[in-house]
Chains A and B, each alone.
Chain A
Amino acid sequence: MSEYVSDSRLERVLKAGHLGVTSECGPPRGSDPEGIKKKGLLIKDHVDAVNVTDNQTAMTRMSSLAACVHLKLLGIEPVLQMVTRDRNRVALQSDILGAASFDIPNMLCLSGDHQSFGDCAQGQNVHDLDSMQLVQTVRYMRDEGKFLGGDDIKRPPRMFVGAAANPFADPFEIRVPRLAKKIACGAEFIQTQCIYNMDKFKEWMRRAVDRGLTEKTFIMAGMTPMKSVGMAKYMKNKVPGMDVPDEIIDRLSGVEKKKQAEEGITICVEHIQELKEVPGVAGFHIMAIEWEEKVPEIVERSGLYPRPEV
């Protein structure tokens, strides 16, 4: 993995062997771009790239692509998240070209939460492609310079292509095989679901390393600091595919309410420190949900700052 496939800073950092750091910003529920710009600027110097979510939890928001452009114009490197729920292969390819026209250098391919979780529960879903097929599609467009239909693309997109992985969903036995499939489809980096169950994550990682998967892709561990014990309980009980061990909840309950947020950050930092030593972990994806201002602190306290020059 020596030559570069894109102009992505994230790609260069990971390929140079540094631990990569990404974070995440959700676009606003309106047309005012100031919020996302502010969020971006808050974390700009502490991360290599910023994921911009695509109508996450199926709540209608400003388009990920437009929000990416706002960040890009501020010199912040975006990771365009794209879900297959809302667009067919025509729109997906078209948006990939649109993003490439702004030289957005990273993309994360997802299927997206079901629309019944969002504000348009009565809507149709598309799923013309699934997340793996979307990975294949971008790779095909980039590497072969062709549309899915076979025609040549003038100035093909140059993008570093990623996918998500959930080490915790059921059944556990297929979590690594599924990761293998995503890599076989062409995923060059992986951002995982938020990790709280360290033992299970390490077991997953060990299996991935054993299969040689970490030779083929960069796995970035997903980290989300808990703001409160309430949030931890909600994540445990209400968010599908999330594994929050009781010890996290106990630890947060053990401190007084106004110190819980601080304790959440500390847990997050400790987890990052611990995972830095786990073979195969190539970086961290820090998703501080509506808490972006805490990302610099987490990055600094985890010893991931300053970001390397590449």
Chain B
Amino acid sequence: MIIAEKKPIEEIIQEVEAYDRILVLGCNECVTVCEAGGKKEVEVLASVLRMNFMAQDREKTIDEQTLERQCDHEYLEEIRDVIDQYDAVISLACGVGVQFAAEKYMTTPVLPGVNTVCLGANEDRGLWTERCQACGACVLARTGGICPVSRCAKRVLNGPCGGATNGKCEISKDTDCAWQLIIDRLKALGKMEDYEKVAPVKDWSTDRAGGPRTVTREDVKI
């Protein structure tokens, strides 16, 4: 899922300073699971903003709503009737939700309340870690199911590099060397012979580098 992180409250306060009627808009999907932008976070942020401006004797309307998803027309339409009551929306969805809301409501500022971090997993309570960079051409079949694109700091496709020490990455001893993980897994699978297959120069045109990506499925279009 998409992993996001709450923006510092100071930054959000600054963003909304100029607006009097604000809707804090949460999302029930990924950002709820990673506790950055779900209903609970909406309640907390709205309460904090209300108190902040109240203490400065500034009267603002700060309302709360959480949608099933902000990356779907259907759910974003739910605020169409109320959108004109607000000078700005703080969206706690990922960057996708923020933009989709902004595209839909052209004249209302939609401000991000979270920083979208990566595609990752719930590794542990309070720990989310990156697993995928959506390069558009998956290599996991050749790398023991561990992704060198997202998990190697150098994105080395024929690793490990010379900087790896004791299974850790040269950038930090807290970061696993992706290639150590790949080797461990290839061994466990009994497929170490795969290690010596040289990964060819990668086609990055399916990656971000090739420009904004779309998936079109004629077979499911109506």
Contacts and interface: CB of A to CB of B under 8 A. Distances in A.
A and B touch in the complex (CB under 8 A): yes
Interface of A: 114-116, 121-125
Given A116-B205, A116-B210, A122-B205, 13 more contacts: A114-B211, A116-B211, A121-B205, A121-B210, A122-B201, A122-B202, A122-B203, A122-B204, A123-B204, A123-B209, A124-B204, A124-B209, A125-B209
Interface residues of B, number: 9
B172 to A, nearest CB: 19
Interface string B179-220: 000000000000000000000011111010111000000000
Contacts of B209: 115, 123-125
A97 B57 CA distance: 55
B183 to A, nearest CB: 25
Contacts of B202: 122
A122 B200 CA distance: 12
Interface of B: 201-205, 207, 209-211
Main secondary structure of the interface of A (DSSP, over half): loop
A119 to B, nearest CB: 13
A124 B206 CA distance: 10
Contacts of A123: 204, 209
Nearest to B210: A116
Nearest to A121: B205
A125 B208 CA distance: 9
A111 to B, nearest CB: 14
A88 to B, nearest CB: 13
A153 B210 CA distance: 36
A121 B209 CA distance: 10
A123 B208 CA distance: 11
Contacts of A122: 201-205
B211 A124 contact: no
A85 to B, nearest CB: 10
A41 to B, nearest CB: 38
Nearest to A123: B204
What are the 6 closest A-B residue pairs judged by CB atoms, nearest first? A122-B203, A124-B204, A124-B209, A125-B209, A122-B205, A121-B205
A122 B210 CA distance: 8
Contacts of A116: 205, 210-211
Contacts of B211: 114, 116
Contacts of B205: 116, 121-122
A124 to B, nearest CB: 5
Nearest to B207: A124
Nearest to A114: B211
18 contacts: A114-B211, A115-B209, A116-B205, A116-B210, A116-B211, A121-B205, A121-B210, A122-B201, A122-B202, A122-B203, A122-B204, A122-B205, A123-B204, A123-B209, A124-B204, A124-B207, A124-B209, A125-B209
Nearest to A122: B203
A123 to B, nearest CB: 6
A116 B211 CA distance: 9
Contacts of A114: 211
B204 to A, nearest CB: 5
A128 to B, nearest CB: 13
Nearest to B203: A122
B29 to A, nearest CB: 30
A77 to B, nearest CB: 35
B208 to A, nearest CB: 9
A251 to B, nearest CB: 37
